[in-house]
Amino acid sequence: MTASLTAVTDALLGLYRRAPMEFVRGAGVHLYDTEGTAYLDFTSGIAVNALGYDDPGVKRAIIEAAETGVIHTSNLYRTAPGEQLAEKLVRASFADRVFFCNSGAEANEGAFKMARKWGRMVGGVAKHEIISLRGAFHGRLFGTVAATDRPQYRNPFRPLAGGIHLDELREVISAERTCAVIVEPIQGEGGVRVIEAAFLKALRELTKERNVLLILDEIQCGYGRTGTVFAYEQVGIEPDLLTIAKPMAAGLPMGAVLLTEAVAQAMQPGDHGTTFGGGPFVAHVANHVFDRISDPALLEHVRAMEHAMCELLAGVQRRSPKVRAVRGRGLMWGVDVTDPAKDVVARALDQKLLLVGAGDHTIRLLPPLVIGRDDLAKGIEQFEAAIG
Ligand code: PLP
């Protein structure tokens, strides 16, 4: 166990404006600081800790995985947990194949390469462009930041990766030049914007018509967060590729690309890879997480909490003139407030509630999927107090 922190270190690269408290313990939907003060978590480590903290099943899976003595072998050799998880994901989705990696951005970068290779196979080198939507967030690596609609993330790194565009779709989707369109069914960082089912259906039609791949980024909104394993299930469309990451291994780093056989045909050994992806330790834990988040009882619970959240937030909106709009699905909600979001987040911290913003005036609510009705109500009460 490492010693508790005293002074703030300047050894870490200063990329994050971190809150001052230091968390040393977690249980259920609470984190505890060095003083033993409990903080109710409406952030889940930004949509990662779907099963909350100190979950006995997760703990058991971690111990089982450690007890094999095989944390890592590299992808030179076969190991069972990754193969088993891939089979589960294929059975539960549109996909025929799965590629494992270590984060969300890495999953999207992988999906971009797969789309490019497929484009080359079906249409030659010209068919290489990837299009993302206004408001999108797909990650901070070179390809993904080019597909992310935040000037402050993009501009300091120009020139960005070529052939990746943020645009108005109908005009730019070209059968000759476009290989893929990438969309978050619910934009997370972009302000919890639920993309309408009708839009997604029309996009699916258009991409099919023009022989363009549809990539769904469910890194934040997928894996049970909206009350179904995948968010696309509620829309009634199927993508060609889908990326997931955050909650996959209960906080251990993991990501994945799910893809159809038609896209997989374009990829040959050596076309892509990663040292750690799908290793036996992380994949063993991820098997446990998948079994839990695909349990109909948990999904039913998320849908019940969606109703509770909807009612509670409607009450807040009725009472508070500082709330401009409320939107969301499942346990992923965005609330537009008149004050700067960072002020509301800071005041919530005083109430011992953890929140995260999504833009200058939007608060994101992402509690663990296992949250109960009482904690949900308590959190919303603290949130209302923080709104002021
Ligand atoms: N895509 C979406 C929709 C995300 O919300 C995120 C992270 O917030 C990413 C991609 C990037 O994931 P990571 O931070 O694991 O690279």
pLDDT on residue 304 = 98
In this structure, are residues 143 and 111 in contact, taking their beta carbons and an 8 Å threshold?
A: no
223 lies in the same domain as 327: no
195 lies in the same domain as 114: yes
For residue 365, pLDDT over 60 is answered with: yes
Q: Which atom of ligand 1 is nearest to the CA of 103?
A: 15
Domain contains 14: no
pLDDT on residue 124 = 98
**pLDDT tens readout for residues 9-59:** 889 999 998 999 999 999 999 999 999 999 999 999 999 999 999 999 999
Residue 6: pLDDT band (50, 70, 90) is low
248 lies in the same domain as 331: no
307 lies in the same domain as 260: no
Question: Using a 6 Å cutoff on CB, does residue 312 contact ligand 1?
Answer: no
State the virtual CA torsion across 324, 329, 330, 332 in degrees, nearest 10: -60
**pLDDT tens readout for residues 204-257:** 999 999 999 999 999 999 999 999 999 999 999 999 999 999 999 999 999 999
pLDDT on residue 3 = 60
How many separate domains does the chain show? Answer: 2
pLDDT on residue 167 = 78
Residue closest by Cα to atom 13 of ligand 1: 104
256 lies in the same domain as 211: yes
For residue 5, pLDDT over 90 is answered with: no
For residue 2, pLDDT over 70 is answered with: no
170-197: buried (b, 16+ CB within 10 Å) or exposed (e) per residue?
eeebeeebbbbbbbbbbbbbbbbbbbee
pLDDT on residue 168 = 66
Residue closest by Cα to atom 15 of ligand 1: 104
Question: Using a 6 Å cutoff on CB, does residue 138 contact ligand 1?
Answer: yes
Choose one of 112, 246, 248, 362 to mutate for the ligand 1 pocket test, by most ligand atoms within 8 angstroms of C-beta. 246
**pLDDT tens readout for residues 170-202:** 678 999 999 999 999 999 999 999 999 999 999
- Ligand 1: centre distance to CA 148 (Å): 10
pLDDT on residue 306 = 98
- Which residue among 293, 308, 327 closes a domain? 293
Question: Using a 6 Å cutoff on CB, does residue 243 contact ligand 1?
Answer: no
Q: Which atom of ligand 1 is nearest to the CA of 189?
A: 5
For residue 85, pLDDT over 70 is answered with: yes
pLDDT on residue 170 = 62
141 lies in the same domain as 122: yes
Cα angle 183, 106, 53 (rounded to 5 degrees) comes to 90
Report long-range pairs for 309-315 (Cβ below 8 Å, ≥24 apart). 309/333, 309/365, 309/376, 309/380, 312/376, 312/377, 312/380, 313/380, 315/380
- Which residue among 293, 311, 334 closes a domain? 293
Identify the burial level of 224 via C-beta atoms within 10 angstroms of its C-beta, where 0-12 means exposed, 13-18 middle and 19 or more buried. buried
**pLDDT tens readout for residues 120-135:** 999 999 999 999 999 9
Q: What is the domain range of residue 233?
A: 68-293
Residue 361 sits in a domain of what CATH number? 3.90.1150.10
289 lies in the same domain as 301: no
Domain contains 1: no
Domain contains 251: yes
For residue 286, pLDDT over 90 is answered with: yes
235 lies in the same domain as 314: no
35 lies in the same domain as 130: no
85 lies in the same domain as 140: yes
274 lies in the same domain as 331: no
Phi, psi of 33 (to 5 degrees): -90, -175
Residue 282 sits in a domain of what CATH number? 3.40.640.10
Average pLDDT over residues 252-268: 98
Choose one of 44, 48, 217, 220 to mutate for the ligand 1 pocket test, by most ligand atoms within 8 angstroms of C-beta. 220
- Which residue among 293, 325, 352 closes a domain? 293
- Ligand 1: centre distance to CA 6 (Å): 31
74 lies in the same domain as 197: yes
Q: Could you tell me what percent of the chain has a pLDDT over 70?
A: 98
CA distance 27 to 38: 9
For residue 335, pLDDT over 70 is answered with: yes
- Ligand 1: centre distance to CA 344 (Å): 23
Residue 1: pLDDT band (50, 70, 90) is low
Task: Indicate the average pLDDT of the chain.
Answer: 96
